[in-house]
Amino acid sequence: MTYQDIPSIHPLPKLLANQIAAGEVVERPASVIKELLENSLDARANNIEIDIEQGGIALMRVRDNGFGIRRDELLLALNRHSTSKIRELDDLDRINSLGFRGEALASIASISRLTLSSRFYGDEIGHCVRLDGQEKPIGPEPMAHPIGTTLEIRDLFYNTPARRKFLRTDKTEFGQVHETVKRLVLSRFDVNFKLTHNRKTLMALKVAQREKEQLQRVAMLCGPEFVDHVLSINEKSDEMQLSGWITQPTYSRSQPDMQYFFVNGRIIREKLINHAVRQAYEDVLYSGRHPSYVLYLKIDPSEMDVNVHPTKSEVRFAQIGVVHNFLVEALQNRLAQTSPNHAGPPTPSPQPSNSRESSSPQASRKSPSPQHFPFPRLGASSPPSDASKPQFIPPYPINRPSAVAIRETMQAYQALHPPLLPEELPLDVITDNNLAPSSIPPLGYALAQLHGVYILAENADGLILVDMHAAHERITYERMKSVWQADTLSTQVLLIPISVSVSEREAEIAERHVDLFNQLGFDINRAGPETLVVREVPTLLADANMPMLVRDVLADLLRFGVSPRLQENIQGILATLACHTSVRANRQLSLSEMNALLRDMEKTERSNQCNHGRPTWTLLSMKELDSLFLRGR
The domains found in the chain, sorted by start residue, are: 14-205 (3.30.565.10), 211-335 (3.30.230.10), 386-484+578-628 (3.30.1540.20), 491-565 (3.30.1370.100)
The stretch 120-148 carries a mean pLDDT of 88
Neighbours of 620 (CB within 10 A): 16
Predicted local distance difference test score (pLDDT) of residue 389: 36
| CA distances, 35 to each of 61, 184, 410 (Å) | 12, 11, 59
| CA distances, 467 to each of 29, 421, 489, 617 (Å) | 51, 21, 30, 6
Under 8 Å between Cβ of 44 and 165:
no
Is there a cis peptide before residue 11, judged by omega within 30 degrees of 0? no
Dihedral in degrees, nearest 10, Cα atoms 425, 427, 428, 432: 80
Nearest to 153 by CA among 32, 54, 69: 32
Query: Coil, helix or strand for 35?
Result: helix
Phi and psi torsions of 57, nearest 5°: -70, -40
Decide if pLDDT at 498 tops 60. Answer: yes
Decide if pLDDT at 349 tops 90. Answer: no
The whole-angstrom separation of Cα 536 and Cα 365 is: 57
Decide if pLDDT at 622 tops 70. Answer: yes
Under 8 Å between Cβ of 591 and 543:
no
Nearest to 394 by CA among 574, 515, 546: 574
Lowest-confidence segment of 87-91, 113-117, 118-122, 578-582 by average pLDDT: 87-91
Nearest to 24 by CA among 106, 144, 98: 106
Nearest to 569 by CA among 582, 556, 581: 556
When the pLDDT of each residue in the chain is averaged and rounded to a whole number, the result is 80
What's the distance, CA 486 to chain centroid?
A: 30
Under 8 Å between Cβ of 343 and 616:
no
In the chain, the percentage of residues whose pLDDT exceeds 70 is 75
pLDDT digits (tens, 9 = 90+) for 380-406: 233 333 433 333 333 333 334 455 555
What's the distance, CA 540 to chain centroid?
A: 31
pLDDT digits (tens, 9 = 90+) for 514-553: 887 887 778 999 998 999 999 998 777 777 788 888 888 8
pLDDT digits (tens, 9 = 90+) for 444-467: 999 999 988 999 999 989 999 999
Decide if pLDDT at 13 tops 80. Answer: no
Burial of residue 179 (CB within 10 Å: 0-12, 13-18, 19+) is middle
Per-state percent for the chain, helix, strand, coil, to nearest 5 = 35, 20, 40
| CA distances, 608 to each of 64, 203, 260, 372, 445 (Å) | 46, 36, 25, 16, 17
The stretch 158-163 carries a mean pLDDT of 83
Decide if pLDDT at 512 tops 90. Answer: no
| CA distances, 77 to each of 34, 69, 373 (Å) | 17, 9, 56
Element (H, E) at 274: helix 271-280
Nearest to 534 by CA among 555, 554, 560, 558: 554
The stretch 259-280 carries a mean pLDDT of 90
Under 8 Å between Cβ of 198 and 57:
no
Helix axes 504-512, 546-560, angle to 10 degrees: 80
Decide if pLDDT at 180 tops 50. Answer: yes
Decide if pLDDT at 300 tops 50. Answer: yes
The whole-angstrom separation of Cα 186 and Cα 263 is: 12
Bridge partner list, 154: 59, 113
The whole-angstrom separation of Cα 489 and Cα 5 is: 75
